[in-house]
Amino acid sequence: MDYLCIGEPLIEFTAMPDHPQGFLRNAGGDTLNTAIYLARLLGPGRVGYLSCLGDDAHSLWLRDRIAAEGIDLSALAARAGARPGLSFVTTDAAGERSFAYWRDQSPFRSHFDDSRIFGGLPRADTVFLSAVALAVLHPAGRDTLTTWLQTCRDRGAHLAFDTNYRPHLWPDRQVARQAIGRMAGMVDLLMPSLDDIQGCFGITGPEAAMEALMALTGAEIVLTTGGGPVLHRAQGAAAWTSHDLPPAVTAIDTTGAGDSFNAAWLSARGQGAGVAQAVAAAARLAAIVVRHRGAIVPPAAMPHMTLKDA
């Protein structure tokens, strides 16, 4: 397959302001959001998801939702007696979101504790994960996953990593810095946000963040700055370029904006787009997503996108 995304799938409940007693239910989780948008952009069977669900009715519903998006399920395990994690999302008047989670029961947390789980997994050209996946794994599982990822890279796979820093998921900032820094040093593509770098490493300002990231890794870097220019450093290069985004749209819900940006970037670059074209494609999809409630927009709201649309 082309892409294998790794992470914790959640059932996401988004509060509906027009219906205070109701929630919009959908598949959720940062890397699953990216996988769904990638599958929509590329077509069925080209994106897989490496994770674990339970065998209860909620897990079966979530598995069906993932399959309906054309995502390959061969790496999505099912554990007897387990239940999926839940996410409740509320937004303020500006569309900024806040989250509440019930995820301690999620089987993904211990999925990689035994390295035998990696036997027979499908190979992919690109493996994508985020720091959220690292944060929720047990330390032993984090180590076995990291070892397996290095094996994938040694076999020729391209590794992509979103630094998505969620402080409440980590025992402390030092553990987060070590895990994120270690992964950043071994991947081919690093996709941080300025908020991530400020929150995890205490570095302020896009230029300072880029300098610190370049000292940390030789990977290609795509640094988003919260609506400001996207800073890009080609793999191994000594300098970066700055790429302006289109004018901001009025956001209803920013959930999934970064995840969709990642998907469109990966899709565009995988089809041979240059940096400016990939930034434009990523910004276009993110602008569609933030104008809808929930991380995953209805397929009808996401028109077919080609590189010439960017």
DSSP for 24-56, please give it.
Answer: EEEEE-HHHHHHHHHHHHH-TTSEEEEEEE-SS
Strand ranges of the sheet holding 220-223, from the earlier edge strand across to the other edge:
76-78, 47-53, 3-6, 126-130, 158-162, 189-191, 220-223, 230-233, 241-243
Question: pLDDT-derived band of residue 254, with 50, 70 and 90 as boundaries?
Answer: confident
Q: What residues contact 180, with CB distance under 8 A and at least 6 apart?
A: 131, 134, 163, 165, 200
pLDDT score at 303 = 67
pLDDT score at 21 = 72
The owner of tokens 């490496």 is 50
Question: pLDDT-derived band of residue 76, with 50, 70 and 90 as boundaries?
Answer: very high
Model confidence over 114-173: pLDDT tens digits?
A: 999 999 899 999 999 999 999 999 999 999 999 999 999 999 999 999 999 999 999 999
Share of residues in the chain with pLDDT > 90 (%): 80
Q: Is the CATH number 1.20.200.10 carried by domain 3-304? A: no
Model confidence over 92-101: pLDDT tens digits?
A: 766 666 778 8
Model confidence over 268-283: pLDDT tens digits?
A: 999 999 999 999 999 9
Question: Model's pTM, two decimal places?
Answer: 0.94
Question: pLDDT-derived band of residue 91, with 50, 70 and 90 as boundaries?
Answer: confident
Is residue 293 scored above 70 in pLDDT?
yes
Model confidence over 100-118: pLDDT tens digits?
A: 888 899 999 999 999 999 9
Helix (H, G, I), strand (E, B) or coil at 190: strand
> How many Å apart are CA 41 and CA 304, to the nearest integer?
7
The neighbouring-strand residues paired with 28 are 10
> How many Å apart are CA 179 and CA 251, to the nearest integer?
32
- Closest-CA residue to 225 (of 201, 194, 252): 194
Which of 30, 55, 259, 309 is the catalytic position?
259
Domain boundaries along the sequence of the chain: 3-304
Q: What residues contact 303, with CB distance under 8 A and at least 6 apart?
A: none
Helix (H, G, I), strand (E, B) or coil at 99: strand
Is residue 308 scored above 80 in pLDDT?
no
- Is 18 a known active-site residue? no
**Using an 8 Å Cβ cutoff, are 232 and 225 in contact?**
no
End-to-end CA distance of the chain: give it in Å, rounded.
25
> How many Å apart are CA 66 and CA 11, to the nearest integer?
11
Question: pLDDT-derived band of residue 310, with 50, 70 and 90 as boundaries?
Answer: very low
- The whole-number average pLDDT for the span 293-299 is 88
pLDDT score at 87 = 87
